[in-house]
Chain A
Amino acid sequence: MKQFKGIWFSLVFFGCVSCQDTIDKSLAPKATKFVFNKPLIKKEVTEKEKLSEYGFFKLPLANLDPTEQVVLYNLNTPLFSNYAFKKRFIYLPGDAKMRYKNSGIMEFENGSILIKNFYYPEDFRNPEQEKKILETRLLIKKNNQWKPLNYIWNEEQTEASLNYIGKVKLVNWIDKEGEKQTVSYSIPNLNQCKNCHARGKYVVPIGPTAAQWNKTYAMSLSNKNQLDYFHEKGILKELVEPNSRPKLPGWDNVLLPIANRAKAYLDSNCAHCHNAEGSAKNSGLYLSYNQNDSRKRGIFKPPIAAGKGSGDFIYDIVPGHPDQSILIYRMKSNDPSIRMPEIGRSIEHSEAVVLLEQYIEELAQNN
């Protein structure tokens, strides 16, 4: 029997001797623009064509100065998006309120809209000066389901228009060290929203959780907690006592332990896919902040389906050896087939890489 199998296998390998390729099939040919005036489908656009139609912001629109029913919010540790700045708001219709949830996202009523603006200050040393807004992403709750929509800003920064198919834009800025930076910024198409925002078949928000909102409110003069601020404003009901609220550490808060900051960063940047129900569930790498199983966190865990993303390393995390850890390798890479996260990042987040390297170094000391 064994011998028989051996024969079959020799066959498998010899069968392939003559199929080495010399041609490269990965080059794209040229195509000329095709003009076709008939619509391909019956289009019934019921969405607002312009961002200004929603009335979220006072004019001039580019100041992102919210109107009555629109409230600014911030997160403890946001997702990295090629160094873009983000301004987030909630729109609540009528006298709608949010219901507090200790875990998972807050409960929103139908008609609520989450608004996220992506922009680059011209000079990161003066972020409140001139800026360029690229896109405004909306998550609209309708019939108990969340629906994504995206608006792309014009060059004049006077208006943003509905876009379904995405776009690539070249962006320049001066970074905190005074260096000139540039990135090819990808605005996603509508189907790509699901890449990060999917829970099963449905689209869901990621940011508005108690742990992310549990921080000092940016617009308050008196160091008030954001959750308390919303509660006092009458838009957040069933808020629990301060000591029962979870809190995600700020990844850049140097007063906190390295491990907590690193785990918070992984939670916001990876765990939307890397959780037991997320799109990366088959990887077995689960990076939610509260994940305590060290193997699931990647420590001495071999990859399942990383392919060339493993960089020929054996484990996701090797304590004491960030240079041998797949996690660092993939955070540093900008190659689309290797990098993590897969979308939304095309340049390295070097400050975060430094943090994660420290975390992996420290893991060796703790053991």
Chain B
Amino acid sequence: MKKFIFVICALLVILVLCMSFEKEMPEYNPERNYVDLEDEILEAFILAKDSATIQLPEGHFLFSQSLSIDGKKHITVKGMGMDKTILSFKGQTNGAEGILVTNCSNFTIEDLTIEDAAGDNLKISESKNVIIRNIRSAWTGKVSTQNGAYGIYPVLTENLVIEDCVAIGASDAGIYVGQSQNVIIRNNKAFYNVAGIESENSIGVEIYKNDIYQNTGGLLIFNLPKLTLYGKGVKAHDNKVYDNNLENFGVKGSIVSGVPKGTGVIIMATQDVDFYNNTVQDHVTSNLSVVSYLVFAAEDDPEAAIDQSIQDRGIRAVEANFESDIEYNAYPGNVFIRENAFENKFSFPTLSNEYGWLMIFKNKMVIPDVVYDGILPDGAIIQDENHKICIGDNGDFNFVFMDAANDFEAFSNNLSPFICSLDL
């Protein structure tokens, strides 16, 4: 009962705080002088034969419709550099994507900027051997829920490299890889997105040397139910993940709208994750969390009714009925967190979410560096062989075992059950 009153009071305080402070969102306002070469570029995309290179000139090109390539081999789309060749889809009247690539093999896109698509800036689906290099994806103006969902968005793709890219302002994820295999994500920058970089339901992913800052959540390693592929085998190392404290501007009902601001890294329901040699710092909620899908599942919650428009836009929503998916494992396992540097310039947990309040009352007002929710399926026990979370040497850091499944009863900072190592 006490707890109940506490929750109500906390919510009231949050509500008041939220209403009294109109939070200023950041802006991205590059100078643009739009020109029209739509017919010629559209024609090049339509006519490109196998092995063609579409060489785009310098200029800020405005389009009223999507550009698409389907079923071709060895196509290269090349600009004169991300500051020189800008493809803008601002106010497009036809199609949802900026550039849409489907059923291609050996596709390369490099050296240009894609901006302001109604939906996703660059979507690549059902393709093989794909290189995305030196591409900037951005939504201009004030960061807003109206921005398109995904910046750089390969899905159902095999053998993929995303490198030297910049992702700005996505209302879902800046760089997002979904249901793909053999993926490298390196040397990219992501800021002003709800999720900076996200690997979802993908197998064999290596994420390194990325700079991820000023998003709502920095790096998300997710595995969601009811999809064609389930994720495992993710290595993330040498990344800098810092200051991801942006207000969440995701579309209500989308999975990422449930990510609390000030979250550095979330590893959710994924198996075989090696997280090492990263710097994770300055987050108001937590630097790194290892959680099950249950913290997002909306079971029995009528308020979680999903806005239909998010289905139109292809945004992933919370799937309440995940238990009917027998292939799906909703719990993390074989996760190894080692040799990372955790720091925090913030000394007081955020009051903007319950999670911060929990840390105030249960964690001596310390923002945790590594959190494990401790939710397990029926019959499983902490640290059994299918649900091993190993934490190696990470210097000085704050660890929290939440015991979220049991009303935080066994909430603890005791690291010893988790000191182990894994061969991944």
Contact with A along B3-40 (1 / 0, CB 8 A): 10001000100110011011101000000101111011
- In contact, A19 and B260 (Cβ under 8 angstroms): no
Using Cβ atoms and an 8 Å threshold, which residues of chain A touch B42? 165, 189
Contact with A along B37-64 (1 / 0, CB 8 A): 1011111111111001111110101101
A268 to B288, CA, bound (A): 55
- In contact, A6 and B46 (Cβ under 8 angstroms): no
- In contact, B43 and A31 (Cβ under 8 angstroms): no
For the complex, is A42 an interface residue (Cβ under 8 Å from B)?
A: yes
A133 to B300, CA, bound (A): 59
A18 to B43, CA, bound (A): 43
User: Which residue of the partner chain A has the closest CB to B45?
Assistant: A191
A268 to chain B, nearest CB (A): 25
For the complex, is A241 an interface residue (Cβ under 8 Å from B)?
A: no
User: Which residue of the partner chain B has the closest CB to A38?
Assistant: B57
Of A21, A305, A308, chain B has the most CB atoms within 10 Å of the CB of A21
Using Cβ atoms and an 8 Å threshold, which residues of chain B touch A28? 62, 64, 90-93
If A15-B257, A42-B52, A201-B103 touch, whether A21 touches B301 (CB-CB below 8 Å) is: no
For the complex, is A5 an interface residue (Cβ under 8 Å from B)?
A: yes
For the complex, is A170 an interface residue (Cβ under 8 Å from B)?
A: no
If A5-B294, A14-B11, A15-B353 touch, whether A165 touches B407 (CB-CB below 8 Å) is: no
- In contact, B249 and A19 (Cβ under 8 angstroms): yes
- How many A residues, CB 8 Å from partner? 54
If A5-B301, A16-B248, A21-B145 touch, whether A189 touches B311 (CB-CB below 8 Å) is: no
A310 to B311, CA, bound (A): 13
- In contact, B22 and A18 (Cβ under 8 angstroms): yes
Using Cβ atoms and an 8 Å threshold, which residues of chain B touch A12? 252, 257-258, 304
If A12-B257, A29-B34 touch, whether A1 touches B405 (CB-CB below 8 Å) is: yes
- In contact, B68 and A6 (Cβ under 8 angstroms): no
Q: CB within 8 Å of A: which of B107-122? A: 116, 118
- In contact, A4 and B404 (Cβ under 8 angstroms): yes
How big is chain B's contact interface, by range? 35 or more
If A28-B92, A40-B56, A41-B53 touch, whether A17 touches B312 (CB-CB below 8 Å) is: no
If A15-B261, A33-B36, A307-B311 touch, whether A23 touches B44 (CB-CB below 8 Å) is: no
For the complex, is B343 an interface residue (Cβ under 8 Å from A)?
A: no
For the complex, is A190 an interface residue (Cβ under 8 Å from B)?
A: yes
For the complex, is A255 an interface residue (Cβ under 8 Å from B)?
A: no
Using Cβ atoms and an 8 Å threshold, which residues of chain B touch A310? 308
Please classify the interface of chain A as helix (H, G, I), strand (E, B), loop, or mixed, using the class held by over half of its residues.
loop
Contact with B along A132-174 (1 / 0, CB 8 A): 0000000000000000000000000000000011000000000
B248 to chain A, nearest CB (A): 4
For the complex, is B372 an interface residue (Cβ under 8 Å from A)?
A: no
A23 to B141, CA, bound (A): 9
If A25-B144, A28-B90 touch, whether A191 touches B68 (CB-CB below 8 Å) is: yes
- In contact, A164 and B43 (Cβ under 8 angstroms): yes
Using Cβ atoms and an 8 Å threshold, which residues of chain A touch B258? 8-9, 11-12, 15
User: Which residue of the partner chain B has the closest CB to A40?
Assistant: B44
User: Which residue of the partner chain B has the closest CB to A32?
Assistant: B35
- In contact, A308 and B52 (Cβ under 8 angstroms): no
For the complex, is B71 an interface residue (Cβ under 8 Å from A)?
A: yes
- In contact, A8 and B354 (Cβ under 8 angstroms): yes
For the complex, is A103 an interface residue (Cβ under 8 Å from B)?
A: no
Using Cβ atoms and an 8 Å threshold, which residues of chain A touch B3? 3
- In contact, B54 and A40 (Cβ under 8 angstroms): yes
A9 to B258, CA, bound (A): 8
If A36-B40, A42-B52 touch, whether A26 touches B91 (CB-CB below 8 Å) is: yes
A32 to B37, CA, bound (A): 9
A310 to B309, CA, bound (A): 11
A7 to B294, CA, bound (A): 12
From A2, A16, A43, give the contact of B47 (CB < 8 A).
Answer: A43
Contact with A along B295-314 (1 / 0, CB 8 A): 11111110110001101100
Q: What are 10 residue pairs bridging A and B, where the CB atoms are less than 8 Å apart in the complex?
A: A4-B405, A14-B353, A15-B248, A16-B248, A25-B116, A34-B37, A36-B57, A41-B54, A189-B42, A307-B312
Q: A9-B301, A41-B53, A43-B47 are in contact. List 16 more A-B contacts (CB 8 A).
A: A5-B299, A7-B7, A14-B14, A14-B353, A16-B252, A21-B144, A21-B146, A27-B91, A29-B91, A31-B34, A31-B36, A32-B34, A45-B47, A164-B43, A307-B312, A336-B93
Closest 5 CB pairs of A and B: A28-B91, A307-B312, A34-B35, A31-B34, A40-B44
